[in-house]
Amino acid sequence: MITDPVFGEGYVAHRIDLGVDAEGPVAATLVHRLPEAPDATPILVGHGWSDYVLDRELLDHLGARGLDVWGLDLRKHGRSLLPHQTPTEIDHLNRYDEEIGAALRIIGRDRPPILLAHSTGGLTATLWALRHPGTVKALALNSPWLEMHLGAAVRRLLSRPVSRIARRLHVRPLLPQGSDGYARALHREFGGLYDYDLALKPAGGHPFPADTFAAVIDGQSRLEAAGPLAIPVLVMHSARSAFGVGFTEAMRRADSVLDVRAIAEAAAHLGPDVRIEAIEGARHDVFLSDADARYRAIEVLDDWLDRLPA
């Protein structure tokens, strides 16, 4: 356990060794906000694809609410990415069970946390909660990638060819680096409000490994076939999507990564206690939006947290 190299003083980082895979040693990183709060409700924050836990202001806000705040950088992402690794590569989302399970053991077996997860991490967290009932108190999802763009029909159409391509390409990219439009709306280097490490969260994302894309489609298919979640769920997303090859001003006030209609449609089937909130003016990460949308997203999250069973 060391001082967290990203957040610095006030946060510590736990390295979670995960053995080796075909590329060599594998590790994840669990970040904890100090001071220790063993009697407080824990909340575990997760990131999206080609991303890492970076929003210290949000984590400090959660800590000020009296929560015991943790963050998890998954293998081959952010703090956990090692020089010999293909960024973001994974062949099945269930492999993340190793670091999620290890993180929950460190937090405490008798302390089921609230999971607050973004984008692909939201899909991973939802699948974990479905397969491990009792380990999670509640689920808050920030623009989760629950379904493919344009909905389930497109995902079903892509599933078989992408799976075949992944068996051939494995870690090699199926998709190149994407548009930098999202980063241009976010990062201070491009005139945005937020500062983060562009080596860990590149402007166009990392090249998308073929087996990672196949793993996401498989996870979405398994989610569609799964039973309902028995825990409270909050799903937040932007009020609209705005896509394009190049940057447009509309991307500052919309989700330029995922299809928000597909998110909302999939979210409605998660379980009997699901609250879905469209945040006007929000970007893909609703908490990395302009001040009004960020404030609204935090207001919605706080209200939902206040209503959770003790």
Distance CA 72, CA 6 (A): 13
Tokens of 244: 């394009």
- Can you tell me the mean pLDDT for 103-109? 95
Between the CA atoms of 159, 50, 97 and 8, what dihedral angle is there, to the nearest 10 degrees?
-170
Whether the pTM exceeds 0.75: the reply is yes
Give the pair of three-digit tokens for residue 185. Answer: 């709306």
Q: What is the pLDDT of residues 214-255, one digit of tens each?
A: 999 999 999 999 999 999 999 999 999 998 777 888 889 999
Q: What is the largest CA-CA distance in the chain?
A: 50
Mean pLDDT, rounded, for 98-123: 97
Residue 247 has a pLDDT of 81
CB atoms within 10 A of CB 248: 15
Tell me how many helices (H) and strands (E) the chain has.
Answer: 8, 11
Query: Average per-residue pLDDT in the chain?
Result: 95
In the three-class reduction of DSSP (H, G, I as helix; E, B as strand; rest coil), residue 112 is classed as coil
Q: What is the rounded distance in angstroms from the CA atom of residue 273 to the CA atom of residue 245? A: 37
Residue 101: partners with Cβ closer than 8 Å, 6 or more residues away: none
Whether residue 173 is predicted with pLDDT greater than 80 in this model: the reply is: yes
